[in-house]
Amino acid sequence: MSITQVEADYLISLSKMPLENDPIEIGREGESIKRELISVDRKERFFMDIWRSGVVLGKYTLQNRARTVIILVRVDVGDTLEHTNPDDTIVSGSHIHLYREGYDDKFASPLHQYPFQNTANIAQTLTDFARYCHIEQLPPIIQRLI
pLDDT digits (tens, 9 = 90+) for 121-138: 999 999 999 999 999 999
Residue 97 · residue 74 · CB < 8 Å? yes
- Spatial distance between the Cα atoms of 12 and 14, rounded to a whole number of angstroms: 6
SS3 state at 29: coil
pTM: 0.93
pLDDT one-digit tens code per residue, 73-119: 999 999 999 999 999 999 999 999 999 999 999 999 999 999 998 99
Q: At 130, which helix (H) or strand (E)? A: helix 122-132
Pairing of strands 82-84, 60-66: unpaired
